[in-house]
Amino acid sequence: MALMTWNDALSVKVGEFDDQHKKLVNLVNNLHDAMKSGQGKEMIGKTLTALIDYTQKHFAAEERLMKQHCYPEYEEHKKEHNMLVLKVLDFKTGFEAGKAPLTQDVLTFLRDWVVKHIQGIDKKYGVFFNSKGVK
Ligand code: FE
Ligand code: FE
C-alpha cells in the first residue's frame, strides 16, 4: 500500500502546484516502496536524491511566484522550506555515510511534514494567488 495519497483535501487551488504536490507524493511513495521492498543502498539513495531534487525545484517554483506577486508571508514560508531542505540533506548525508539508515520514522516524518505544510502554509497562498488571478 502506498504510504500516502493525494486527495482534494490537499488542493491548494493552484493547478501548477497541485500537480507538483502530486508528484511529490509519488516520490515519497517511491522512497517508501524502495525501502519496503528491500532495495539496495544505491537504489534507495537514488530515490532519495530524486525526492530531494524535486522538492527543491518545487520550493523554488512556489517562492518565485510568491516573490512575483509580493506575497506578504514570503519570508516565513521560505523559512519552512529551508528548514526541511536542511533536514533532508542531513538524512541523506547520514544515510550515505552509513551512519543513519532511513527508517520508517523518517518516512513518517516526511509524510506528515508534507501533509501539514500543504494543508497549512501552502493553502494560505492559494487564497492569495487566486485573488491575483492565478488558479
Ligand atoms: Fe508546496
Ligand atoms: Fe510551500
**Ligand having the closest approach to the CA of 24:** 1
Which pLDDT score is estimated for 1?
Answer: 81
Q: What is the pLDDT of residues 58-97, one digit of tens each?
A: 999 999 999 999 999 999 999 999 999 999 999 999 999 9
- The residue written with cell numbers 524535486 in the block is 54
- From the CA of 80, the nearest ligand is 2
C-alpha dist (Å) from residue 32 to 29, 38, 63, 104, 107: 5, 10, 27, 8, 7
**Rounded to two decimals, what is the model's pTM?**
0.96
Task: Delineate the domains of the chain, giving CATH numbers in brackets.
Answer: 13-33+40-130 (1.20.120.50)
The Cα–Cα gap between 65 and 128 comes to 11
Tell me the CA–centroid distance for residue 37 and ligand 2, in Å. 30
71 alpha carbon – ligand 2 mean position (Å): 12
| Residue 117 Cα to ligand 2 middle (Å) | 6
Rounded to an integer, what distance in angstroms lies between the CA atom of residue 8 and that of residue 5? 10
* Mean pLDDT score across all residues of the chain: 96
Answer whether 52's CB lies under 8 Å from 37's CB. no
